[in-house]
């Protein structure tokens, strides 16, 4: 597996990032350990999580995914420097008024809690999960700057920020000599392109910001499990149904055809490879619930497309007709 710089930082990360939202939710603890080990042995050194994962699951108060990663590091005796760990802060982690958001008070408490759960003394990439209207950006960035100076955090990133908020953050960091966001996690895939491509892509290219797209398979739609005129019994069909339209059904056919032409690649592998071939993308975040899904995802690494093939996929997924 090849490795690439995370934006302008010196961090070398794998072409795929292992997401962990499913840990303690749709993947139990033992399966999660297996996925982590298999991914690491396959060359994935980049692991993304969040303190809130996955509080929406029954019996999961949040922090479970971080705890699984921390126990895995200790259980497998993984050298800490060989893994790039990214986590996030913002979500509600308690019942108090300061138990969520991007205030200094919450960030300073949340980072210590994450460090304890992750069984580590530093976080490679600490990300604000989504913006916080109630906290001045100067306060958030000042708190994050302190964490970098203290050595608890190496680099900072953001997630779900529109282009104007990202630019505001970069300007604030420059003006006040504070650490800046070096990465962003946007919602980006073949059937959800405009959110990133309309404005964010140019900002990320101009300012050398690493891009770690989430939902690269569109909630399962880009695996080919949903087909036109076929009723699905999947529990996730409701979320994927927003992509059920003529253009996207035709796109699935082109993905399937191209995969066969390239030597037998699956629809999901072609979809992931398309993202890996976008110049501004660092590492798409995959979320396998089983070893078989992980193996399929890994099969996308190294798949290259000709300019004509890229053009075919771009035209088939053009976003001017999207309803974002």
Active site residues: 53
Residues whose CB falls within 8 Å of the CB of residue 71, separated by 6 or more in sequence, listed in order: 33, 119
Beta-strand ranges (E) seen in 106-238 are: 123-128, 153-159, 181-185, 210-211
| Continuous segment of H or E residues that includes residue 5 | strand 3-5
Query: Where do we find the tokens 């975040």?
Result: 285
Total H helices, total E strands in the chain: 12, 10
- Determine whether 105 is exposed, middle or buried from the number of CB atoms within 10 Å of its CB (0-12, 13-18, 19+): middle
Nearest CA-CA partner of 217 in 273, 161, 295: 273
């Amino acid at each position: 597996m090849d490795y690439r710089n995370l934006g302008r930082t010196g961090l070398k990360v794998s072409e795929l990032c292992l997401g962990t939202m499913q840990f303690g939710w749709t993947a139990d603890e033992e399966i999660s350990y297996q996925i982590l080990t298999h991914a690491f042995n396959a060359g994935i050194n980049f692991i993304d999580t969040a303190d809130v994962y996955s509080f929406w699951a029954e019996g999961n108060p949040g922090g479970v995914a971080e705890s699984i990663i921390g126990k895995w590091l200790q259980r497998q005796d993984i050298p800490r420097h060989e893994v790039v760990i990214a986590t996030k802060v913002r979500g509600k982690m308690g019942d108090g008024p300061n138990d969520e958001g991007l205030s200094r008070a919450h960030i300073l408490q949340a980072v210590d809690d994450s460090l304890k759960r992750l069984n580590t003394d530093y976080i490679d990439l600490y990300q604000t999960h989504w913006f916080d209207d109630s906290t001045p950006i100067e306060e958030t960035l000042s708190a994050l700057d302190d964490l970098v100076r203290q050595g608890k955090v190496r680099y900072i990133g953001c997630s779900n920020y529109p282009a104007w908020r990202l630019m505001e953050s970069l300007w604030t960091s420059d003006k006040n000599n504070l650490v800046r966001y070096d990465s962003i996690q946007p919602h980006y895939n073949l059937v959800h392109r405009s959110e990133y491509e309309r404005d964010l892509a140019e900002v990320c290219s101009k300012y050398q910001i690493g891009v770690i797209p989430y939902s690269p398979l569109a909630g399962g739609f880009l695996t080919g499990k949903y087909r036109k005129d076929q009723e699905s019994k999947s529990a996730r069909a409701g979320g994927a149904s927003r992509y059920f339209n003529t253009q996207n059904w035709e796109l699935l056919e082109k993905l399937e055809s191209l995969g066969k032409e390239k030597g037998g690649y699956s629809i999901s592998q072609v979809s992931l490879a398309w993202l890996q071939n976008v110049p501004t993308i660092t590492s798409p975040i995959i979320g396998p619930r089983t070893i078989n899904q992980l193996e399929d995802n890994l099969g996308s690494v190294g798949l290259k497309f000709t300019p004509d093939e890229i053009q075919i996929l771009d035209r088939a997924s053009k976003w001017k007709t999207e309803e974002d």
